[in-house]
Amino acid sequence: MTARPHEIRRGAAVQEKTYLKWYNKLGYGSGDIAGNVVYVLLSAFMLVYLTDTVGLNPGIVGTLMLLARVLDGITDVVFGALVDKTKSRMGKARPWMFWGYFGCAITLIALFAIPTQIGEFAQYAWFFVAYVLLNSVFYTANNIAYSALTALITKNGAERVQMGSIRFMFAFATNLLIQAITIGAVESFGGGAEGWRTMAIVYAVVGLAVNSLSVLSVRELRARDLMDRPDQEAPTQAMNLQMEHYSPSSAARLLVTNKYYLLILAVFILMQLFSAMVNTTGIFFMTYVLGDPGLLGTFALALNGPLVVALAVTPLIVKRVGAMYGVNLWGYVIAVLGRVGVIAAGYAESVPLMLLFTAVASLGMAPLQGTLNALIAEASEYTYLRTKQRIDGTLYSATSLGVKVGGGLGTALAGWLLAWAQYDGMADVQPDSVITMLHVMYLWLPAAFNVVILVLLRKLDVERVNRRLREELEQQV
């Protein structure tokens, strides 16, 4: 049960209300274990399973993934609007988060249980149907609802940053664990199709249990409480306005007129392109370039370990600096420099230096990971301050849409590039064209994505603009 909000007074100063106890924050954050069971298994191992176990063509698989993402772009906004319109005893978001994961568990197992004895066309069809249902329906419902909870269970900016940091600490720890143990666990379960199917069942059950725990660990605020100013005891006349009814089309118009939503969506897509390229290509790069697939776990530690550590201190850094903008911007300067170091070390064939610069880049990426949900909450507040409409669920479609479009496009791009380079999943030795392509995919493309993110972060000044809008509203009262 979520704690009742209370104020902290020091002398004459009144600080923001707090809404959550430590166990609410941990419970909420643990929900990303469930989300990353799906995400990491698809981004890191789906392609290698389809090519090396099922025997499908990576180029065709990439094309099917892209087609699935077209559907995702439609369902994200639809489910965001449905979350906003939902009224139930559990609230707006929690029912979608809870029930959506049952579908995630079933379709995740189906994806890694493609029958090897059926025809090739049937295998592609099986994959496509299960992939669309998982991503466009069940994962969409679950992930949008989960992300929207950031704005629905607290109005305290510091708590939102803490929730984001805790959430992504769980996410990257899960990412690290899954990349480190999956290959070995699949072999211990018998290898091949049987091993992958058993592994998927284990992950689905774990994800379902953790997701249910996360849903039950928090409680949404009442609708009238969400209409108040986030930093005041009582709403001002200008802010105490009722939420208007709107259709998915009008919600979409509100999204495209919110420049900060579009910026955050672009950043999300690029971050997921980065992750998908590194995760999807990682097992291929370790196997055929570095000659040791066991290094995947070591590189996963270098990538995710620093993120977990840095996310723990991100709220303190943001609090000390007083804003997310500068912390995120300078963090990505470090991230870009780190990825440049990875490129140099990669061509020097120095695994220790590659690991070192991977860790440096991850430290720089951490602040943005920890503040993304808080930034979306600020973008939602920006829409409310300008239009007096709350569309938190629709705004949080940025997370699901960005994850799926970026992750799916990244995985699809990896499939296309491998097919172009003549990769053969059934061959023991790959041609030089594949080795060259793996350098491009694992070294150069992630660095390029980070450079573009840095450029976009310079324009993401939503905190400053919201402060100005609030001041203008106060002057009107």
Summarize pLDDT for 216-246 with one digit per residue, the tens.
999 998 776 666 544 433 333 333 334 445 5
Structure token digits, residue 249: 């089309």
- pLDDT per residue as tens digits for the range 176-220: 899 999 999 999 999 999 999 999 999 999 999 999 999 999 999
Q: For position 80, what pLDDT does the model report?
A: 80
Residue 32 φ/ψ region, left for φ over 0, alpha for ψ in the -120 to 50 degree band, beta for the rest: alpha
Q: For position 233, what pLDDT does the model report?
A: 37
* φ, ψ (nearest 5 deg) of residue 167: -55, -50
Over 80: is that where the pLDDT of 143 sits? yes
Query: How much is the average pLDDT of 19-42?
Result: 92
Looking at per-residue pLDDT, the higher value among 370 and 54 belongs to 54
Domain 20-476: top CATH class: mainly alpha
Q: For position 145, what pLDDT does the model report?
A: 92
Q: Which ranges in 243-293 belong to alpha helices (H)?
A: 248-256, 259-288
Over 90: is that where the pLDDT of 148 sits? no
Write the CA distances from 229 to 156, 163, 340, 384, integer angstroms.
Answer: 10, 20, 44, 10
- Whole-model pTM: value is 0.76
What one-character-per-residue DSSP string does 1-52 give? -PPPPB--EETTEEPPPB---HHHHHHHHHHHHHHHHHHHIIIIIHHHHIII
Over 80: is that where the pLDDT of 5 sits? no
Cβ neighbors of 39 (< 8 A, separation 6 or more) are 403, 407
Query: How much is the average pLDDT of 326-339?
Result: 97
